[in-house]
Amino acid sequence: MQSTNIIFKENKGIISFVFISSVFLLFLVVFTCTLFYNGKIFYEKAKYININVIWQSYCRPSQISEAINKLVDDYNLVFVKNINREQIKEDLLKNIKVKDFLLTEIEFPVTTVFKLKYNAIHKQHVFNTLKKIESFPLVRGVVFSKTKISLLKNWQKIASTLILPVLLGLSIVVLVLIFLSLRLLLLDKREEIEILYLVGASDFYVLKPLILFSSTIVVISCLASSLLVYVSVNYLKKFFLWFGIDFVFLPPTYLTMLICALFFISILASLTAFKSFQNIK
């Protein structure tokens, strides 16, 4: 049978299809693993959520300053920034067309943004703290997102539930994809293989280029999909920073385990395709 290099040169159509399909499938695999990894560590190590404390409209700057210091000391908050009345007006005017005289009828309270330490395991304690802050004399209200808090709480649970069926399903699809591609290659080279057997070639001699071919395709596909996920993670960082989370890419150990699993799948697919070919030869 021809060498692996010649297989690559003479079967560009099949190889391109397998490569593109593998990159797409392995992108889903690597991205799912990334979500699972982040969900696992953030369930245990989630740090802060942002809250907006809205002050009463009659509060003087000195009163707000004193109240900020008290909230920071009493509830272990981290001060982020103050948003004054003029900034609130400007932000409203960017998205809402209102006439100037209407603005005089609206009270624009001063808002302070804090980071509140968040413990995913003791979620109820977070809500109790928010209620205490809201009952503070100078506070008009506290704005936060229950949905985002629940996301941090349930992220690891959802990721753990989905990762096994998703990875198993995608692994089977990759296995079938490689199996069918190799079977087509074997059928296309049937006459050459028969000649090789006539001159004394062993099964391993015929099988070796298939294993090299499939392993090379899946490893290159894995590296390409990992690069795409790495770029995606960098774009997602800004979104997850809202939670006080540093969204990270998979560590090298995860990628090594994934590549080893893909080697196993490529060998299994090669053996299966070869055995299937022998049965119809």
Q: Is the entire prediction scored with pTM above 0.75?
A: no
Q: How far, in Å, are 7, 10, 137, 235, 270 from residue 197 at the CA level?
A: 19, 22, 90, 54, 18
pLDDT digits (tens, 9 = 90+) for 45-77: 556 777 889 898 888 888 999 999 999 988 888
Q: How many other CB atoms are found less than 10 A from the CB of residue 88?
A: 16
How far is Cα 153 from Cα 91, in angstroms, rounded to an integer?
31
Out of 2-11, 53-62, 118-127, 133-142, pick the least confident. 2-11
pLDDT digits (tens, 9 = 90+) for 235-275: 888 777 765 566 788 888 888 888 888 889 888 888 888 88
Are the C-beta atoms of 268 and 175 separated by less than 8 Å? yes
DSSP-assigned letter for residue 250: P
pLDDT digits (tens, 9 = 90+) for 135-177: 888 898 888 765 555 555 566 666 667 777 888 888 888 888 8
Residue-level pLDDT at 57: 80
Residue-level pLDDT at 263: 87
Q: Residue 143: in which H helix or E strand, if any?
A: strand 139-143
112 has pLDDT over 70: yes
Q: If you average pLDDT over residues 221-231, what whole number do you get?
A: 91
Q: For the chain, give the percent of residues with pLDDT over 90.
A: 5
pLDDT digits (tens, 9 = 90+) for 168-217: 888 888 888 888 888 877 777 777 777 777 777 777 777 788 888 888 88
pLDDT tier at 2, thresholds 50, 70, 90: very low
Buried b (16+ CB within 10 A) or exposed e, 253-266: ebbeebbebbbebb
